[in-house]
Amino acid sequence: MTYRAPVADIAFTLKHGAGLSRTLAQGGELGADDINAVLEEAGRFATDVLAPLNAIGDRHGTPFKDGAVTMPPGWKEAYRSWAGAGWNAVSLPAQWGGQALPHALNAACIEMWNSASMAFGIGPVLTMGAAEALANYGSEHLKQTYLPKLVSGEWMGTMELTEPQAGSDVGALRTKAVRANDGSYRITGQKIFITYGEHDLTDNIIHFVLARLPDAPAGNKGISLFLVPKLLVNEDGALGTRNDVRAHSVEHKLGIHASPTCTMVYGDHGGAVGYLVGEENRGLACMFTMMNLARLAVGLQGVGIAERATQQALQYARERKQGRAAGAASSAIVEHPDVKRMLMTMRALTRAARAICYATAGAIDGSHGKSDAAKASDGRAALLTPVAKAFSTDIGIEVASLGVQVHGGMGFIEETGAAQFLRDARIAAIYEGTNGIQAIDLAMRKVPLSGGTVVRAYLEELRATVKAVQAMNDPALGATGARVAEAVDSLDRATTWLLSKIEKEPQSALAGATPYLRLFGTAAGGCMLADEALAALRVAKGEPAGRVAVARFFAENIAVQAGGLEVAITEGADGVNGAEAALTA
């Protein structure tokens, strides 16, 4: 079956979870109709143009010959029509041709591109991140030359950190940059796992490359960021000669076959021409602009693939007849309680992850400026970004795997499509910082932000939701109030424990990082879904029955994991750190 963009669902969560209602209430140029129009149009494009390319991309992959990549049939046309319609520019600065719409709205669009095709969606994410970094840190000349085309999507961008010895440990990178006489630099070295490092979608590719100057300090503090165009750009803006960079090979991967993952070689002929972005040795800070947006976008990939897997499984379960549910002569498998549980798990996890990601984007939108509210929103964005990335991509895999299961034997047959979602989903927990790195970022850097006040403020907000649910006392909510209350209690106690360990017993804190992130996503997701149920109950058109059912299922069947996660965090560390004897062979 094909993907149908869930525009109404998305609009609901955007308005109620991501603070877009607040934005709208504050007036300004953006109205509710504009938001709906953008979502409708994006949904149409994702459904009609991109979704049909997904299986084609999986089958064709990206053949590599003589240094060139051929994208799958139809991809170039689709990309150009996508960029031509302005989709690359949704939340990029107006000054450079962007539409300057909220990140939250772009987040919704990114989800839809990735539901339609993860292999397609990941390319533009990097271009958007590169444009943001260049807008924030680039020189005026660099911006004039490259930014309009990166904003429009006429050229695509890449993000190049990884080297064979430098994966999660980016400070170990060795690619070299030396100063040239004309103010530019010459780059030599090798980068691996470079997404969309080479392709034929656009006439030029702008590589954003981390490298090290000869006199740079060791580690993270000696890394600089360079813009390295595939084709040099003449003074008049026309494309010039080929730069000294090439793709050496393309990886053979488990999934996202249509996303060319390249090994890039710099400096076969003395060094590629690169231009410094930001200051020397401050490259990691610039890259973090790209990376935070990319992390949220990868979280949205998790949401997108989970949504698509859920849609396909649900449609199959409604059509496939097998066995008899109680009292029926012949039943679609959706009627069987065990299948219902799988489908509700898929739906509830997907909705929770969506709410977390959109809220993160909303926090980014609120973080501009110097007001106290902006600062608080900035802290909120920092806190939620690793959760948005890791929780959403973990559940993306789980939901895609359940989608295979709902299909039974058909799920294991490639033509069905369910297996592709699982193959594709698997990468999102790895790239842009593995989910382990996200958990460590959350536990060791984000939780202690401002002495813990950022996380404490968030917990207070979750408690307010809990109180509202308990006050509503609608029988259809079942034990939702009690279960989310317990989950928030667990998160609260685990947070207190964590804050007491980060300095004194970092190994213990680190051992609990992954279950802590899961607990955080579980408690936050449960509260957000409950909040959506309350909002739906308040407005007639909110389809309250469906939202209440999702919130209730999540609370009673998923949020109940919170207690076990809490114990694993607060009492499991010694068993982790003392496990050498079991890890010798």
Q: Out of 32, 37, 254, 464, point to the residue binding a second copy (CB under 8 A).
A: 254
Say how many residues touch a second copy, by CB under 8 A: 99
Q: Does 125 bind a second copy (CB under 8 A)?
A: no
Q: Does 510 bind a second copy (CB under 8 A)?
A: yes
Nearer to a second copy, 86 or 546 (CB): 546
Strands 205-211 and 156-160: parallel
Q: Does 299 bind a second copy (CB under 8 A)?
A: no
Question: For residue 343, what are its two tokens?
Answer: 């489908």
Q: Does 154 bind a second copy (CB under 8 A)?
A: no
Nearer to a second copy, 178 or 332 (CB): 332
CB of 306 within 8 A of CB of 400? yes
Nearest of 502, 384, 401, 398 to residue 443 by alpha carbon: 502
Q: Does 452 bind a second copy (CB under 8 A)?
A: no
CB of 417 within 8 A of CB of 55? yes
Q: Out of 80, 248, 253, 375, point to the residue binding a second copy (CB under 8 A).
A: 253
- Selected range binding a second copy among 61-69, 221-229, 262-270, 418-426, rule: CB under 8 A: 418-426
Q: How far apart are CA 349 and CA 550, in angstroms?
A: 9
Site for a second copy in 481-500 (CB under 8 A): 483
CB of 515 within 8 A of CB of 495? no
- Selected range binding a second copy among 65-73, 91-99, 132-140, 508-516, rule: CB under 8 A: 508-516
Task: Tell me the C-alpha to C-alpha distance, in Å, between residue 9 and each of 20, 208, 354.
Answer: 14, 36, 10
Q: Does 426 bind a second copy (CB under 8 A)?
A: yes
Site for a second copy in 157-186 (CB under 8 A): 162, 165, 167-169, 172
Q: Does 540 bind a second copy (CB under 8 A)?
A: no
Q: How far apart are CA 380 and CA 363, in angstroms?
A: 6
Task: Count CA atoms within 13 Å of residue 169 on its CB side.
Answer: 7
Nearer to a second copy, 21 or 561 (CB): 561
Strands 156-160 and 231-233: unpaired
Site for a second copy in 307-336 (CB under 8 A): 314, 321-323, 326, 334, 336
Nearer to a second copy, 90 or 548 (CB): 548
Q: Which residues pair with 264 in a beta bridge?
A: 191, 247
Q: Does 436 bind a second copy (CB under 8 A)?
A: yes
Task: Tell me the C-alpha to C-alpha distance, in Å, between residue 335 and each of 329, 342, 449.
Answer: 12, 12, 47
Site for a second copy in 36-95 (CB under 8 A): none
CB of 202 within 8 A of CB of 188? no
Residue of 432, 486, 532, 566 marked active site? 432
Q: Out of 136, 139, 220, 561, point to the residue binding a second copy (CB under 8 A).
A: 561
Nearest of 79, 54, 82 to residue 200 by alpha carbon: 79
Task: Show which residues are catalytic.
Answer: 432
